[in-house]
Amino acid sequence: MQNRETTLWFERRNDGRQGSASATRRRVTGLLGTAILALPMWLAPAQAGAAALGSSAINANIALPMGAWTTLNAIVVPAPHVTTYCTAVGSADINSPPGGAGTYLFTLTVDAPAPPMNLGQERTVQYVVGGPVIKEVSSTQGFVLAPNVNHVIRWLGRPAPGNPATTALDRSMTVVCDQDTLGIYNSNPEPPQD
């Protein structure tokens, strides 16, 4: 139940703010109208440069023989018409070698099935006798893809030179590409090997 004082206070408060509320309403309506008209412009770049996604997961075992890179996963990126920026993530479960000791290398590449060793995205898995039987490995890498050429992004593995063969048990790779970038910086201060 309202009393007379509450009603008078409410009316005075509204009277004092009526001009301000009306101006605020006009400002919001004007901004909203501008936002609605500009909405198609905001959507156009997102539609034209929409991101592309590819993924591959395999649970069949694959041998990693001595002395060579083995492709664990590969995803073809169809020829873009403009420079495209991609990020790839690869992961795998690696089995211990028969003797229980060994070192294994894993890397992500674009258009290079046999890259040099010791690049920044390369990961190392090392086994010692009495250690775990299975280890997990993953890496991520950004790539700049030239226009008008099909590209192949690969997740690769191999024994380090002089180490025994082993097996990759499960492996997966995901690639996301877009025409926008925040920058891709690859620094490899050590000389590549191989």
Domain ranges of the chain: 1-48, 52-178
The percentage of the chain sitting over the pLDDT mark of 70, rounded to a whole number, equals: 69
Q: Quote the tokens at residue 92.
A: 């795998």
CATH class of 52-178: mainly beta
Q: Quote the tokens at residue 44.
A: 């156009």
* Segment 10-27, tens digit of pLDDT: 344 444 444 444 444 444
d(CA 104, CA 129): 15
**pTM (two decimals):** 0.71
Place of tokens 């070698």: 97
Buried b (16+ CB within 10 A) or exposed e, 94-123: bbbbeeeebebbbbbbbeeeebeeebebbb
* pLDDT value of position 181: 77
* pLDDT value of position 180: 82
Contact criterion met (CB below 8 Å) for 52 and 178: yes
For 159-171, what is the mean pLDDT? 96
Under the banding of pLDDT at 50, 70 and 90, the label for residue 38 is very low
Q: Assess whether pLDDT exceeds 70 at residue 100.
A: yes
* Residue 12 CA neighbour count, 13 Å, CB half: 6
Helix (H, G, I), strand (E, B) or coil at 67: coil
Place of tokens 């920058």: 183
- Return the minimum-mean-pLDDT range out of 12-21, 109-118, 169-178: 12-21
Residue with more model confidence, 179 or 159: 159
